[in-house]
Structure 1
Amino acid sequence: MKISHILAAALLLAAPLTVAAQHSHKPGTAAHGHKAAGESHAHKSPHGGTVRTAGKYHIELVQQASEVHVYLLDANEKTLPLTRATGTAMLLSTAGKTTSVKLTPTGDHFVAAVPAGTTLRTAIVSLKANGSSLSARFEKLDKAAKAGNAVSAAYICPMNCEGSASAQPGSCPKCGMALVKKS
């Protein structure tokens, strides 16, 4: 086995997982527990991806054909601006190959290219934003893609705001207008 595979496996196993946190999403509502990063998240995702808790924030990963889109969300799952935010993602393929990619800010979210011919199994996203270091682990991405859960944007903002594409109806995270079905 190659040293790089051993190191990649060790990094994936040692990736920091957040402990269960208690917080409330709306004033006056009861606090609820969140599972550790990488476990199922019970909240609806605003962009049709998978949401994980990362400290007092949330991170949403949206898989598309040759890219991953990463959104930084607040406690209410609202998209936060990426002012001075940076990030990387460690991508593990179904073939066991690990690739580290830089997340590039694009409007209200990050984008990273997935190497051609790669089927993702796991992604570990690390962000530095608002004075915090955040990380979240997204697993079983290959099963979600096979089940047809990879997002193909069916709704867009009528003003064509960058980052507004979504698999489900909702509001544009930039301008607030109702998303419309693509023709």
Structure 2
Amino acid sequence: MKFSLILAAAFAAASFSAQAQHTHKPGTAAHGHKAAGETHAHGAPHGGVVRTAGAYHLELVQQAGAVRVYLLDGKEATMATTGTTGSVMLLTTAGKTSTVTLTPAGDHLVAQVPAGTTVRTAIVSLKAGGKSLSARFEKLDAAAKTSKATAAAYTCPMNCEGSASNKPGSCPKCGMALVKKS
């Protein structure tokens, strides 16, 4: 009886642990996070914050007056947003909550944020490829303060939306070389 009780407890613990961990397809790296929505251990391709959402990742990038959301695959490559719909619930530092629709804008989704609003928490809900995805982004007000010092140093000379980057490269919209801001 004692042995079967210990065995049942060990099985339950192993089962719970296996459900909480996120692994990728064979041949890709497994991540060290334990549950969907936790801070992602890898760098964000667009300079934002990455969270897991099922088999995908969501990256949230804050800009003045807007938040951008990128849908990423298991290898953190940006996926097309064709047919993707969603919304983002915003909690501000003033304690106000609002839900804003995300609209497609090239390789990402965007939601307008009222001017002067400082977002503390954002909960993103998407419907992509018939699957419901969601992720919670917390402490964004603290992240915004630290990211101002490392703001995007490169931009498209044609001022294409979404071209800002913290490293040299090409504009994702027009293909021109990004230039360093002065």
Instruction: State the TM-score bracket (shorter-chain normalisation).
Output: 0.7 to 0.9
Root-mean-square deviation (CA, aligned residues, Å) is: 2.7
Give the Cα–Cα distance (whole angstroms) in 2 for the partners of residues 76 and 178 of structure 1. Answer: 25
More divergent stretch after superposition (163-172 vs 83-92): 163-172
Indicate yes or no: 2:63 matched with 1:101. no
Provide closer, same or farther for how the CA distance between residues 81 and 170 of structure 1 changes in structure 2, counting only shifts above 3 A.
same
Q: More helix per residue: 1 or 2?
A: 2
SS across alignment from 1:136: strand
Question: In the alignment, is the contact (CA less than 8 A) between 2:121 and 2:138 conserved in 1?
Answer: yes
Q: Which amino acid aligns with 1:132?
A: K
SS across alignment from 1:32: coil
Report the equivalent of 1:135. 134
Report the equivalent of 1:20. 21
Report the equivalent of 1:12. none
Provide closer, same or farther for how the CA distance between residues 30 and 49 of structure 1 changes in structure 2, counting only shifts above 3 A.
closer
Q: Which amino acid aligns with 2:22?
A: A
What does the per-residue CA deviation read over 1:42-92, in whole Å, with 9 as the maximum and x for residues that have no partner? Answer: 111111000111111110000111111111111111111111111100000
Q: Which amino acid aligns with 2:86?
A: G
Runs (5+) with no aligned partner, structure 2: 1-18
Give the Cα–Cα distance (whole angstroms) in 1 for the partners of residues 56 and 170 of structure 2. Answer: 20
Indicate yes or no: 2:171 matched with 1:181. no
TM-score, length-scaled by structure 1: 0.76
Question: In the alignment, is the contact (CA less than 8 A) between 2:38 and 2:52 conserved in 1?
Answer: no
Give the Cα–Cα distance (whole angstroms) in 2 for the partners of residues 57 and 98 of structure 1. Answer: 26
Provide closer, same or farther for how the CA distance between residues 146 and 34 of structure 1 changes in structure 2, counting only shifts above 3 A.
same
1:20 is displaced (CA, Å) by: 3.0
Report the equivalent of 2:118. 119
Indicate yes or no: 2:80 matched with 1:81. yes
Indicate yes or no: 2:35 matched with 1:36. yes
1:158 is displaced (CA, Å) by: 6.2
Question: In the alignment, is the contact (CA less than 8 A) between 2:55 and 2:73 conserved in 1?
Answer: yes
Question: In the alignment, is the contact (CA less than 8 A) between 2:60 and 2:69 conserved in 1?
Answer: yes
Runs (5+) with no aligned partner, structure 1: 1-17
Identical residues among aligned pairs (%)? 73
